[in-house]
Chains A and B, each alone.
Chain A
Amino acid sequence: MSTPIPPNWDTGADSLDRIDSYQVVGRNETRVDALKLAQGRGSFTDDIDLPGMLHLKMLWSPHAHARIRSIDTSAAEAMPGVVMVLHHGNVSRIPYTTAGQGHPEPSPYDQFIFPRKVRFVGDRVACVAAESAVQAARALAKIRVEYEVLEPVLDPHDALRPGAPVIHDEPEAFGLPDYDKAHNIAAAMHVEHGDVDAAFAEADLVLEREYSVPYQHHATAEPHIAITWLDEDQRLVVRVATQVPFHSRRILARILDFPLHRIRVVKPRVGGGFGGKQEILLEDLPALVTLRSGRPARLCLTRAEELASSRTRHPQILSWKTGVMRDGTLVAQELRVLANTGAYGAHALTVQTCTAGKTLPLYKARAYRFDMKTVYTNLPVAGAFRGYGGPQGFVAMECHMDEVAEKLGLDPLEFRRRNLIGPGHDNALAQALGEGKEGPPQRIRSCAIQECIDRGKAAIGWDRRDRLRSTGPIRRGIGMSCLMHGSGIPGVDMGSAHVKLNEDGSFNLHVGATDIGTGSDTILSQIAAETLAVPLEKVVIYSSDTDHTPFDTGAYASSTTFVSGAAVKKACEGVARQLREAAAEMWRVEGDPCTPEDLHLERGAVRRPDGRSLSYGEICLSTFYTHDQHQIMDHGSHMTFECPPPFAAHFAEVEVDTETGAIRVLRYVAAVDCGVPIHPQSCEGQTEGGVCTSLGYALSEDFIFNDAGRLLNDTYEDYKIPTALDVPEFETILVRSYEPAGPYGAKSVSEIPTDGPGPTIANAVAHALGIRFRSLPLTPEKVRKAWLKKEEARQRETEA
């Protein structure tokens, strides 16, 4: 399948030279929001206070699995300050998915505003709206609920057991053809490419290993929150911390049975999303309260509610099998995944297809097989989480590659080099995996993975690897992993932008793309400024308000720069053309005609070859008030069937204390090819931040449940994300390539860093201890136990 590079196939290599001529793109401009955030002036959802606002508090299920026999809210309603109590008996029952995905969502429709049967500890039971939060909380205690407790399913294997309790036995739930609720299967897929069995039969070595990865929580700094009210036209305004305002509006209209045009969803400043806010998690409830009471309403989750009842990263059990020749050539790869989506199937299919889609094609093989089941359990709900299946898959694949290399006696790095995909190669699985339907084919153009390896290898000092300390209680090791991700969902993600000119030569840029801390407001402004040849401050960006900005699928799938950025570029190119035409027209009227094609834009003015110019301000004044009156403006939409993957090579050096089992990451190097970095500092920030999140995944973050399925570590006291002092010395290397399909040569950068730390650290620890860990997180206790076992075994050997 390794196709030679076709003639005329633009791999972008020639275009790299162009980068240096850019004025705004590729430079570390001060972020458009940096100062306001540092001054605490960023306006987040909760930073407004509306007169007469009602406060909502939730009654959550105390049981992992139970049918609600009855709910008596009369005592609660009689409590002081209580305005209403919502529950399954007084709201509509329309099946939907909270997954904020494109229409029609590939996730099963298995939720209702309130369920009649609760499916995890933390499921919705009722919601009290009262004059104050304290009053609402007090009333919760007065709601009488009678439950018929059912046997819970607390393990994904048990979910598949014949005769297992059926979690979604309601008739209304439905999904894609493979959806099989009777057997607790929320999603399933089987894909083969090439003759897999024949390829395995030919292989010199076949290795199969099982890996498992835990729950992880987004732990955004800002919890989920929504505030709703009716404006003076009695339209519903929803101010919500979301990544997907347009999906939110569409889904709300359906489940509230309220006309879409009477809903306005506003995304203010958002305190982090990482996929957790790609979910229509709670805005339906304040919206209902507002519609019924006419009053503003607010619902904000506490940290404990956030941890127990919002969304998480899908835990998976992954079985990886490779067939390889003695010389290290891979011939066959097989991945089987059993994923746990918890009580509801948000992103149940697509996260898991990405587990395969981001990983398997990275290494060329003659044949691939992917088999996946995502099952329901009575545990917290999984969903989208930065990396979207990648962090899980790479733990398995990149640990596995080390294991295979070890079996073959090859350097893990050279073994990988031999099999990596490269420019001109096809992504073998792109079509088969798709997004709930067949996907468009993908051929790699820009790809600097080999250079990422070279530079990362030098930076970490890979060649020291054999000389690291391997005696005494403190051991050292170096590990690495190779990574690939995507840029948007091809054929699905669409972004749009609107640009108009003002009298001072500035531009308003309205985008549907949602900056949730990703820096997209800055990056999209840079793309606009570059295209319009103005400094960054001449672009006034406004993002995400369903009334005032054009559509965008939202901030997910690493799509903003690649997809929405291209939309901005298109819109600005239209404006640039109009500017040239208007200038030509002005010169024509002055009796000095020229053709627009001869004009160019530079430093805020339209210029003639002889150096004469008209500033944008002059042009705007003329077109507003004097001649050929019109508003210079344009819009652009962008959708593409391309999904160029960014690539990366991650390296880490660790120190392991064999006596307590504690792991210290000393150094981390992430070399990433994200195409042209529009804002290098942002790319570094995304990389370092993503790595940090997954350091938590590798080392300390996990959900601990009791026998009844209750989450025990539901506070930051017990759910440990890394602090400033836990992060190692860190180096990001931006390896430049030029992606012809991206705006100014850019690909994505935000998700790929989360893919690396799991396998990189596990490989480094394996190198340090000679012990292969196949499950995360690598807690001191787990490491300590394994070390003891190894020592005991060694002792028995010496005795024998």
Chain B
Amino acid sequence: MSRIEFRINGHHLREHDASPATTVLDYLRDNLGLMGTKEGCAEGDCGACTVLLLDRRRSKTPRWLPVNSCLLPLAAIHGRDLVTIEGLGTGGAAHPAQQAAVATHASQCGYCTPGVVLTLAAAAHCSASEFATGQAEMLAGNLCRCTGYGPIRAALAEVAASDPDDSLKRLRALPELTVAQEPLEYCAGGVHCVIPVTWEQLWEAIEQHPNHSLVAGATDWILTSAAPFWEHVGGGSGQSSSPCMLSLERLPEFCQVRDRGETGWWIGAGVRVADLQETVGADVPAVARLLRYFGSAQIRNRGTIGGNLCTASPVGDLAPLLLALDAKVVLRSRRGDRMLLLNDFFRGYRRTALRPGEVLAAIELPRPRGDTRISPFKVCKRREVDIATLSCVVAVDVGADNVMRRARVAFGGMAPTPLRVAACERELEGKVFSASAFRRAAEATERELEPISDVRGSAWYRRRVAKNLVQAFHAEWETGEEPAWRADHPGTVALAPGAQREEK
């Protein structure tokens, strides 16, 4: 028996024929004829395809999270509940989010509207405090070229945290589908899909399907690795050599954050960026400050830490942060676990230390000491939903004598991999926390790094700004002034006020 089961707008559906690698967007439109969900880019950037996915694990009351259906393989909704624009509102009556959109004149062409309205509907179920602490940013993932956003923001303000008695409330009260707890083996359209719920099942699947591909949140996978799966559609034979998606999402503890007190956190590799925001981010402000600028709400609701590190992108946001915090990675295979410093995990451009048959199981993150000063900086072309041009995280332990005991300076976007800059750290460790120490460190950084020029910025700009950021860190902590990222600068999440550093 091989089928994928899920609930869409409250209807329990069983699918036998569709490829597990099909995107939910295509499935909704082509297989179910639900045309309200739109395709604007098919790459997670526009939000026209936004749907709501029920999350039962992050909090006691299940929550509807906006996600991009263009990045969601069908297999990812096995056992899950989904709501599309057609499922909002009851008996023809408009949902409050829809009423607000009508009243504020939030659509012009209306193509972005279904996605926008679903984001608004999810915001309606945020608590007032959640909304106040950053949910207002939920709209960053819904591009609109017509309205200039004013009316959409007005509609958001109207419905946010209003807790309406709506279809979403009714649908989230339905019991979870039983298949959600069971392993899945599915094959259709020449593509296999295995969702193991034990590690043993994972190792078996890995052995059985040499042509497998690991999938977590799939936000990256679907854009970079899924093509061969679609190529296969209709052509495959269903043999074990045909491609197999191996979903990691249901592995035990894989999606959990364990707070181990003084020692720090044990973070499953399947923990999503949004979860990390709410857990570690609540304790370490620097983490929250960085993650707020990670993709869009839709991306943060799906993208995982493991996925972010395993792509080994030179401009991934988490690597510099975790490098600066001395995180370790737990690599697991049938033969057992091995632990590496994250610094040893990146082996070259988009290459990691993972061996065949090995997965990234968890990250061990030490708790920053009371005297650790941390600031992350992300510089990009657009403030929201943008990949960094470069990013930098500085963390230093400063003793009572104002001497820096330990310094970590990590960069993204400055080399083929994310990296720590030892030359820079050397200039800081053992020195007094002072402008001159950071100036020397900044100069060492500039000497050490040889970034490339690309569409996101020239090598010249990268080096200049990298150097600035090291000094910005000092200014930010020295003056105690609100850093400029608070002042909401576009194109950069970075920078503190201070003197004209590099001219001196």
Which residues of A are in contact with B by a Cβ distance under 8 Å? 28, 30-31, 33-35, 37-44, 46-47, 49, 132, 134, 138, 218-223, 269-274, 302-303, 472-474, 516-519, 655, 657-660, 662-664, 681-682, 684-685, 687-693, 699-700, 704, 712-713, 715-718, 720-727, 730, 779-781, 784-785, 788, 791-792, 795
Contact = CB atoms under 8 A, between A and B. Distances in A.
A717 B94 contact: no
Contact of A724 (B38, B88, B102, B152): B152
B140 A517 contact: no
Interface of B: 29-30, 33, 35-43, 45-46, 48, 84-86, 88-89, 94, 97-99, 101-103, 105-114, 117, 137, 139-140, 142-153, 230-231, 233-234, 379, 381-387, 454-458, 461, 464-465, 468, 472, 484, 487-492, 494-495, 497-501, 503
Given A220-B145, A699-B491, A725-B488, 13 more contacts: A34-B102, A39-B98, A46-B39, A219-B145, A660-B465, A693-B148, A704-B455, A712-B455, A716-B43, A720-B381, A724-B152, A725-B384, A792-B503
Given A38-B113, A134-B230, A657-B495, A221 B105 contact: no
A716 B46 contact: yes
- In this complex, which of A43, A685, A699, A791 has the most chain B Cβ atoms within 10 angstroms of its Cβ? A685
Contacts, number: 268
Given A38-B113, A721-B145, A724-B144, A221 B46 contact: yes
Contacts of B110: 33, 37-38, 42, 269, 271, 517
- In this complex, which of A47, A692, A716, A779 has the most chain B Cβ atoms within 10 angstroms of its Cβ? A716
Contacts of A30: 102-103
Given A40-B86, A704-B455, A271 B111 contact: yes
B111 A272 contact: yes
Contacts of A33: 107, 110
B37 A40 contact: yes
Contact of A38 (B102, B230, B458): B102
Contact of A660 (B107, B114, B456, B468): B468
A692 B148 contact: yes
A121 to B, nearest CB: 15
Given A134-B231, A221-B112, A660-B468, A723 B98 contact: no
B140 A724 contact: yes
A271 B38 contact: yes
A438 B110 CA distance: 39
A519 B383 contact: no
A132 B235 CA distance: 13
A685 B111 contact: no
B151 A685 contact: yes
A686 B102 CA distance: 16
A222 B40 contact: yes
A57 B455 CA distance: 27
8 contacts: A44-B38, A269-B110, A658-B500, A660-B379, A712-B454, A713-B455, A717-B386, A727-B150
Contacts of B46: 221, 303, 716
A664 B497 contact: no
Given A717-B43, A779-B381, A688 B150 contact: yes
B484 A657 contact: yes
Given A660-B489, A725-B383, A472 B497 contact: yes
A43 B35 contact: yes
Contacts of B153: 724
A96 B112 CA distance: 33
A218 B42 CA distance: 18
Contacts of B491: 660, 662-663, 699-700, 779-780
Given A39-B98, A221-B40, A221-B112, A781 B461 contact: yes
B9 to A, nearest CB: 12
Given A40-B85, A473-B500, A664-B487, A659 B40 contact: no
A276 B351 CA distance: 41
Contacts of B37: 40
- In this complex, which of B40, B140, B386, B457 has the most chain A Cβ atoms within 10 angstroms of its Cβ? B40
